[in-house]
Chains A and B, each alone.
Chain A
Amino acid sequence: MGSYFDQILFIALPYVSLFTFFLMTIYRYRAESFSYSSLSSQFLENKQHFWTVVPFHYGILAVTLGHVIAFCIPRTILVWNSHPLRLYILEISALSCGLLTLIGLVGIVWRRLTYPKVRGITSPTDWIIYVMLVLQVLSGVGIALFHPWGSSWFASNMTPYLWSVFTLDPNIGYVAAMPWLVKFHIILAFLTVGFFPFTRLVHILVIPNPYLWRKNQVVRWNRNPK
């Protein structure tokens, strides 16, 4: 019975989520690119915005980057962690970034709840994604606290599982034995990925990279371009 659920949650769900993610982000970009926006609320409330949005974004960027690195170069991480001091440094920095994210996120939700102008433009989808993010960050911090040395076991167990998913040969042996908190974190991660195209999170996909390389002024010609 347990393995039946595991199969749905760790084989079916990832593919459904990833499929939805790619299909719907591309579709939305092509059909409704007007709706791609960071939907900033800084204009409506300018002070709390700084103390909540900035720590959250820097925190979540660092944490996400950590996951990606462990996914891309697991062996290097394991070698790095072979020395206890280096392991502690990595774990503590990961935990502090997680806490930074959590504090920022709680602040963001608090700001949304308490400032009427900002609450007014918060959509039901926003609330759903906030709940998902809070649970995700909470469980992440919880894992860092109660199931330590995640940087090592992510590299040794999670990375092979994720690779097996991406190479279309899913092997749930790696995750089946994980504690429930870790399983929760994984499942919620896939749910978030699947829900991503229907939320404001799409602004991550349109971060402005060409700006730093383009000329200052932009001129668009209708005809006779020069």
Chain B
Amino acid sequence: MNIRSQVSMVFHLDKCIGCHTCSVACKNIWTDRKGTEYMWWNNVETKPGTGYPTKWEDQDKYKGGWEKKNGTIKIRSTGKARVVPNIFHNPHMPSMDDYYEPWTYDYKNLFNAPEGNDQPTARPISMVTGEYIDIEAGPNWDDDLSGSQIYAENDPNLDGLTEQQKAQLSSVEQLVFFYLPRICNHCLNPTCVASCPSGALYKRGEDGIVLIDQQRCRAWRSCVSACPYKKTYYNWFTGKSEKCILCFPRLETGQAPACFHSCVGRIRYLGVLLYDADKLEEVANLPDDELIEAQREMIMDPHDPKVIAEARKNGVHDSVIESAQNSPVYKFVKDWKVALPAHIEYRTLPMLFYVPPMSPVQATKEEDIIDHSTENLFHDIDSARIPMKFFANLFGAGNEGPVRYALAKQKAVRWLRRAQTVGDITAEMAARMLREADCTEEEAMEIYNLTSLCTFDDRFVIPPMHREEAIELMKEPHEHKQSVGFGFSASPRRGL
């Protein structure tokens, strides 16, 4: 055993209202500099939808992640064999057109326009060229556009759905969507790190945060192609790549990351997981349908004395072990198994887990009368509007099993609470639903509490980072005065 600690995350999609507060909080802190305007380290997508960058999940186009070949896994874009001949031009690099061209408006014109018969307007100006542009796409261009033939119908997760299911998703009576907030997954087996020719990307040993060393990045752009989630971004102005840093300066001072802190729906949970790094290679090589379970197996029980002993041997601080024992993420992922990684078939072993959302019942339409009623108070999860196969493609590596399990348990919790609070359901009925969902009453109450009544401290169990022991990073405080937050004192000026 080689126990390491990893700051991990759970996003409870059933609670996400798609308000984009997280994205704005992140943007205001980290990506309002020149060259980063187009970057959204945190973004919220409407599903079904094509996302950002457009169709990022289509790995036939972007070639992100790992692929299984001859019994081992290889970087799908430019691994070691291909990086040298392709160093001048990265063959799978997305361009700005796949994201959008950032713009501002000519606000001055509103004040300075000469007197005339028409109202002055503020025309959009490109933040890249400084010239007037016609806006063709922008961030969240497909926000709430479910049923759209341009966006929703091109969602790569619709693969494998029957024609009937696809048609249903775009008929007005059946329209449905949910939100998928995305940040860097801080994977255990990150392709971005493995692909970096300069060795600029690295995973922090103590907390598993994946970072790009701005001093060593040389703009070879491999990480942008290699990350299957497209969560590393190229700063076209400084010539350096950048990505979500999980607000490590905030974490190190005991604060939740900005997107977590600002979340209005309180959908975000953060905590430490202890995992066995020795299993990493073996797990990443398993067949698709075993990945979810195997990743759960890698995550070790923080109460197990053997695990604690091994963790201590590796220098994991007792306070970190303690926070792993209180981790809400551990409960969602390991105890309850209701949180699932997105697209684990990319084999990067992401450490951001999603609780799949419930959706309304399918409607029936007879002679222009649309009927949404169902015999059961909480309908069968298979008659939900979002097809199980869609969830399976997104959260189950194509398998419905884990998603069905997670949704059934959530439904059982609802039955139990309805029986307790309203009483129009018998206790026996609720107990049967719990049994069917492999859930005890105590567990259901715990899920209910951590989902509905959770306080700030329940959601964010931030391990002490013990920066006081890392004084070597801060040898010269004066050197860092007025520096730029990346941990070095020079200003991030573009090279000549």
Residues of A within 8 A of B (CB): 31-46, 49-50, 53-54, 57-58, 116-117, 119-121, 123, 125-126, 198-200, 202-203, 206-208, 210-212, 214, 216-226
Q: Contacts of B216 on A, CB cut-off 8 Å?
A: 33
A32 touches B236 (CB 8 A): no
Q: Contacts of B87 on A, CB cut-off 8 Å?
A: 207-208
Q: Is B461 among interface residues, defined by CB-CB distance under 8 A?
A: no
B214 touches A222 (CB 8 A): no
Residues of B within 8 A of A (CB): 2, 80, 83-84, 87-90, 93-97, 101, 126, 128-131, 189-190, 193-194, 196-199, 201-206, 214-221, 224, 234, 236-240, 314-315, 469-470, 473, 488, 490, 492-496
B95 touches A44 (CB 8 A): yes
Number of residue pairs spanning A and B whose beta carbons lie under 8 angstroms apart? 158
Most buried by A among B89, B90, B470: B89
A217 touches B190 (CB 8 A): yes
B80 touches A211 (CB 8 A): yes
B204 touches A220 (CB 8 A): yes
CA distance A210 to B196 in the complex (A): 11
In the complex, residue of chain A having the shortest beta-carbon distance to the beta carbon of B467 = A222
8 contacts between A and B (CB under 8 A): A37-B239, A38-B220, A40-B219, A42-B89, A57-B88, A123-B496, A208-B218, A218-B202
In the complex, residue of chain A having the shortest beta-carbon distance to the beta carbon of B240 = A37
From B84, B131, B206, B236, give the contact of A41 (CB < 8 A).
B236
A222 touches B473 (CB 8 A): yes
Q: Contacts of A121 on B, CB cut-off 8 Å?
A: 236-237, 494
Q: Contacts of B215 on A, CB cut-off 8 Å?
A: 33-34
CA distance A37 to B237 in the complex (A): 11
7 cross-chain pairs, A with B, having the tightest CB-CB distances, nearest first: A224-B315, A35-B495, A208-B197, A221-B205, A37-B239, A46-B95, A39-B239
Given contacts A217-B189, A226-B2, contact A44 B218 (CB under 8 A): no
Q: Contacts of B90 on A, CB cut-off 8 Å?
A: 42
CA distance A46 to B92 in the complex (A): 10
From A42, A116, A126, A224, give the contact of B314 (CB < 8 A).
A224
CA distance A37 to B315 in the complex (A): 36
CA distance A172 to B94 in the complex (A): 52
Q: How far is the CB of B495 from chain A (nearest CB, A)?
A: 3
Q: How far is the CB of A56 from chain B (nearest CB, A)?
A: 8
